[in-house]
Each structure stands twice: as structure tokens, then as C-alpha cells.
Chain A
Amino acid sequence: DTAVSQTPKYLVTQMGNDKSIKCEQNLGHDTMYWYKQDSKKFLKIMFSYNNKELIINETVPNRFSPKSPDKAHLNLHINSLELGDSAVYFCASSALGPNSNQPQHFGDGTRLSIL
């Protein structure tokens, strides 16, 4: 069973379009995340979200918005796609708790290419 699954795996679309990437985790984790990994390979946190708090990296454009219908899902919606949005987007989840020492588990990634 896939612990963290995200769809689609590949997304090729034109500049200006609106698209969504879905993420689901079946680990019962409290917190989910979205990361962007660009061509320089640096993993940049975009959002972290549990059922109480959304933490947004202030450098993320407001064209990006996370949507969580329930604890097991955190989808990423992107408006007015730009060429610079081309990257691999990873979803992740982790258990929450002080000093929990619980790692993150990642999805396979969505490779977004803007034409």
C-alpha cells in the first residue's frame, strides 16, 4: 500500500492555466506538507498544514493555495501558471507531537512542466 500518494505524476500544461495536484496519505498522520524542488535540486517548503494551523512560506506566491478536504488529503491548487513554476512538487506527511522524532514520508512527486 502506498503511504503517501500524489497525482498526477507528470503534468504538462500551458502558461496561464489553472491546475491542481492531489495528495493523500493513509498513515494517519496529523501534518501534511508541500515542497517544491527546482532544477537546482533544493527542496523548498511551501506549506505545512494540520487540522489546526496552516503555515505558509512567505516567499510562495498567492497563486498557490493548499486545500484540505480532510486530514488525509492536502491538494495544491495553482492559478495562472508561469514558466518559473516548472519543477517537481513533493507532498509529505508526518505525525505531530512534541519531541516525537517522527520523520516525514514523501510522495513520488509531480513533475510539472509549463510550455
Chain B
Amino acid sequence: SQQGEEDPQALSIQEGENATMNCSYKTSINNLQWYRQNSGRGLVHLILIRSNEREKHSGRLRVTLDTSKKSSSLLITASRAADTASYFCATDGAGAGSYQLTFGKGTKLSVIP
């Protein structure tokens, strides 16, 4: 079942601009993860933020988590054409020994050179 919902579904920006994608979810989580998928390829893990963290950085990526609003955002700064891909959030449900990751439908990002 899908819990994470990304917003927007599609985003088109110019190279050099920042891209912001949002994710909302419904139930308690241990962590939230963001993945990237180039067309037709496997998903690649970008960043993991735990439920007790509010912000995390990795290179040009910045992720925030607001557990009170059950939402997260992914910011890509100074975007490049190579950032063109689909981005998915995935929630890791709370509970002992939980293995299930629940994925949203993704945001399709197009970065125009």
C-alpha cells in the first residue's frame, strides 16, 4: 500500500535553479528516505532522515522532516541537467523489526539546460 504522496507530480526548472519536492505520509515512521530513478533504471538511495531528526544535508541535497505535520521536503540546490529523474519518498514504518518501506508515486523532475 502506498503511504507517501509526493508533490508536485512533475516539475520543470531551468538549470541552476533550486528544485523542491514534498512528501506527505499518514502513519508514524522510524525514518523517511528519498530515492532517485533515472528513466527505466533501478532506484538509487539518496538520503535517510530518522524520525528524531529535523534536517539533513548531503552535497546539494537538503531534506527536512516535520513529524507533527507528517511531511518531508527534498531540496536540490543549483540543479543540473543530470538531476533530471524521478524522485521518490519512502517511509519506514514504526514498529519493532519493521522492514516495510512504502513508496509514493514520485515527482518527475526535468532540468532544462
Q: Do A and B bind each other?
A: no
